Structure 1
Amino acid sequence: MSARLEPGDPAPAFTLPDADGKPVSLAEYAGRKVIVYFYPAALTPGCTKQACDFTDNLQLLADAGYEVVGVSPDKPEKLARFRERESLRVTLVSDESREVMKSYGAFGEKNSYGRTVTGVIRSTFVVDETGHVERALYNVRATGHVAKLIKDLGL
């Protein structure tokens, strides 16, 4: 399992394809705050709830200076279906190799229904304007997480 990030650590750089196959790079967000969240699978109940919660609060987050990028191991085509079916407005990117997830400590052993499995660890990172981790949240819940994040950010 990869090491977990701590506040103050440089956020690992990445360039991944979005739902339309266009590259999205963390470097594009330099000078702005970005929330990068990792989720296991598009079109599943928990991940849909979380993505819809981010979409529903996108304007509030944008007004406070935050961009949002969701990362999953799904292929761009599946992300496009997810975006269309749920009318999502957050940027969704594909990490099929799971290398970016590993660099953030968001892939590894986790408990799932009482069993230890290897997979995506639902995690959220707030990256500041200088590209450093402001908050690193691991094993977050799909439901209620966005509301808690907004509260914790004082928005």
Structure 2
Amino acid sequence: MTRLSLAWITASTLGATGLLGATALLGSPALAQSAAAAAKPVSIETMNDLALAAAVNVCELAVEQKLPVQNGVISNAKAITYVVSSVHGSEIAGTGKLEASQIVNGTIVQIVGRVKQGCYAKITAADKKFVDEVIAQFTAQANKQQPKK
């Protein structure tokens, strides 16, 4: 049994070299110029739209192509993190500048939550386990951060 942790996902899939590699692979003069320009934080609405589009993609790949949900979630989280980092200077409205690991972890949670709402009944037991573990870990972390009464 593999113990899943959001920190593990980040460390294994989106290290600095992974993000730099994606930047180098996708880099172009236009992207370099837009990254150099004063970046405007990405709105919460746009982040929600990106997470929804990613979840639809994950569901399509999982149900139709039998790609493990974890693989689809991680790939989409990396893509969204790349956009937020290169186009928006790693800033999401109301949060300030974030580390890539913070963006990817938050994005994973957002995508997984939408997968749970969208295609959970159609995915494999292993994929359901991944979804449930991510949600449980996020819930546990959120509960730890709640002030005690």
Relative to the length of structure 1, the TM-score reads 0.27
Going by fraction, where is strand more abundant, 1 or 2? 1
Going by fraction, where is helix more abundant, 1 or 2? 2
Relative to the length of structure 2, the TM-score reads 0.28
Pick the structure with greater CA Rg.
Answer: 2
